[in-house]
Amino acid sequence: MNVLVCGGAGYIGSNMTAILAENGHNPIVFDNFSKGHRDAVKGHELAEGDLADFDLLVKILKDKKIEAVMHFAAFIEVGESCALPLEYYRNNFSNTRTLLAAMEKTEVRKFVFSSTAAVYGMPKTVPITEDLEKEPINPYGESKWAVERMCHFQSLTGRLNYAALRYFNACGAGGSGAIGEDHKPESHLIPLVIAAAMGKREDIKIFGTDYPTSDGTCIRDYIHIEDLCSAHLLALEKLDNNPELVYNLGNGKGYSVRQVIETVKKVSGKNVKVTEVARRPGDPPVLTADASKAISQLGWKVKYPQLEKIVETAWIWHSKNPQGYKK
Ligand code: UDP
């Protein structure tokens, strides 16, 4: 299949591009490089441009005979989304609307959308199943949920078959440590602890040690990037006969912030200075996925159930790329 990978120069998009190619598909990366890295494209076909550009999207969808679109191009910072909500609605929602309009015009039906566990807000129960109330508590989660609703209603017209994949904590590096995570600024726990282990940061700050969890720190569900991408591939292949697919993508297993720090110390063999600070606003104590729907309906198999193995791949990438991607 010819697949347009929007945001294909970013962390998840670049891993997806590699996996599509390995599985006999023809990925075409679409990116404006506002956040993505040219070095992450790794020789795959590139169409440079902005998702706000309807005419360009129509041209690419037609010229490249695109059969499916995978959409990873979004802003992802919860804190930033609270400071700049309109930017999040513009980039995450309005630009996705433009993309769907271009798909409608060119009759491209298949769409795989990168959604998030943030659509659930502060869940009343864990592990989270897909039917739990969607009550996002920040513009980031709200902008993703708004896209899911838009896809739902567009699918009802018969012009769109879509999969909304709600990620828990994506992490690790794909290709045995070749395709890694390089956000600027970085806010995610694993790369920050690794940076502290490498001596690039003085310490790692634990945001809150008084949560109602076994060690007082937040528990999250860390899912390896290759496992995430394999679920996308399975969803893509199922879209022919399904207008609407919605899945949680997580390991189902929770690790606390302290466990993540200990794992990085073990994998790296380095010490990490820990500073305990106040809670970060908007962090639920525990977020874990019930991914049984993806497992049973897609036949999804997680290759990296163990945090240690996940961290090993991240450690390889960061050790090889201490300054991140060069460009
Ligand atoms: N966290 C932390 N210190 C940091 C970054 C994150 O204690 O410097 C915690 C954060 O509060 C959350 C967990 O680590 O409980 C995972 O945070 P991350 O930002 O990686 O992902 P999120 O769960 O917010 O999507």
Domain boundaries along the sequence of the chain: 2-171+223-249, 174-221+252-289+303-320
User: 147, 113 in Cβ contact below 8 A?
Assistant: yes
Would you call 311 helix, strand, or coil by DSSP? helix
Pick from 148, 130, 114, 149: nearest CA to 247:
130
Q: Calculate what percentage of the chain has a pLDDT beyond 90.
A: 95
Q: How far is Cα 127 from Cα 221, in angstroms, rounded to an integer?
A: 10
Q: Give the mean pLDDT of 212-238.
A: 97
Confidence label for 282 from pLDDT (cuts 50, 70 and 90): confident
Check pocket membership of 325 for ligand 1, CB cut-off 6 A: no
If you take atom 5 of ligand 1, which residue's CA is the nearest one? 189
Which amino acid does the sequence have at 296?
S
Would you call 301 helix, strand, or coil by DSSP? coil
Give the residue, out of 78, 188, 192, 209, with the most ligand 1 atoms within 8 A of its beta carbon, to mutate for a pocket test: 188
Q: pLDDT, tens digit, for every residue of 242-281?
A: 999 999 999 989 999 999 999 999 999 999 999 999 998 8
Residue 140: active-site member: yes
The pLDDT score that the predictor gives to residue 312 is 97
**Residues for the chain: how many in total?**
327
- Ligand 1 centroid to 78 CA: how many Å? 11
Q: How far is Cα 58 from Cα 73, in angstroms, rounded to an integer?
A: 17
Q: pLDDT, tens digit, for every residue of 44-100?
A: 999 999 999 999 999 999 999 999 999 999 999 998 999 999 999 999 999 999 999
Tell me which H or E stretch contains 198. none
User: 225, 171 in Cβ contact below 8 A?
Assistant: yes
- Topology annotation, domain 2-171+223-249: Rossmann fold (3.40.50)
The pLDDT score that the predictor gives to residue 14 is 98
Q: How far is Cα 118 from Cα 82, in angstroms, rounded to an integer?
A: 13
- Topology annotation, domain 174-221+252-289+303-320: UDP-galactose 4-epimerase; domain 1 (3.90.25)
> How many CB atoms lie under 10 A from the CB of residue 158?
9
Q: What is the DSSP letter of 169?
A: E
Would you call 256 helix, strand, or coil by DSSP? strand
Helices in the chain by DSSP H: which ranges? 11-22, 54-63, 78-83, 85-88, 95-106, 139-156, 174-177, 189-197, 225-238, 257-268, 292-293, 307-320
**Number of the ligand 1 atom closest to the C-alpha atom of 193:** 8
Q: pLDDT, tens digit, for every residue of 187-207?
A: 999 999 999 999 999 999 999
The pLDDT score that the predictor gives to residue 3 is 98
- How much is the pTM? 0.96
Q: pLDDT, tens digit, for every residue of 176-191?
A: 888 999 998 899 999 9
Helices in 200-256 by DSSP H: which ranges? 225-238
Q: Give the mean pLDDT of 14-31.
A: 98
Question: Which tokens belong to 256?
Answer: 């606390």
Beta-carbon contacts of residue 221 (< 8 Å; ≥ 6 apart): 117, 127, 168, 169, 250, 251, 252, 253, 254, 255, 287, 288, 289
The pLDDT score that the predictor gives to residue 281 is 84
Identify the active-site residue in 140, 162, 167, 304. 140
Q: pLDDT, tens digit, for every residue of 105-128?
A: 999 999 999 999 999 999 999 999
User: 110, 154 in Cβ contact below 8 A?
Assistant: no
- Tokens 């980031």: give the residue: 140
Q: pLDDT, tens digit, for every residue of 118-155?
A: 999 999 999 999 999 999 999 999 999 999 999 999 99
Q: How far is Cα 111 from Cα 136, in angstroms, rounded to an integer?
A: 23
Question: Which tokens belong to 190?
Answer: 């694993």
Check pocket membership of 118 for ligand 1, CB cut-off 6 A: no
Q: Give the mean pLDDT of 308-326.
A: 95
Burial bucket for residue 13 (CB in 10 Å: 0-12, 13-18, 19+): buried
- Tokens 């992450």: give the residue: 40
- Ligand 1 centroid to 93 CA: how many Å? 24
The pLDDT score that the predictor gives to residue 326 is 87
Check pocket membership of 289 for ligand 1, CB cut-off 6 A: no
Pick from 322, 308, 313: nearest CA to 197:
322
In the chain, what is the greatest distance between 2 CA atoms, to the nearest angstrom?
A: 56
- Matching CATH topology for 2-171+223-249 and 174-221+252-289+303-320? no
Q: How far is Cα 277 from Cα 293, in angstroms, rounded to an integer?
A: 37
Question: Which tokens belong to 255?
Answer: 């690790």
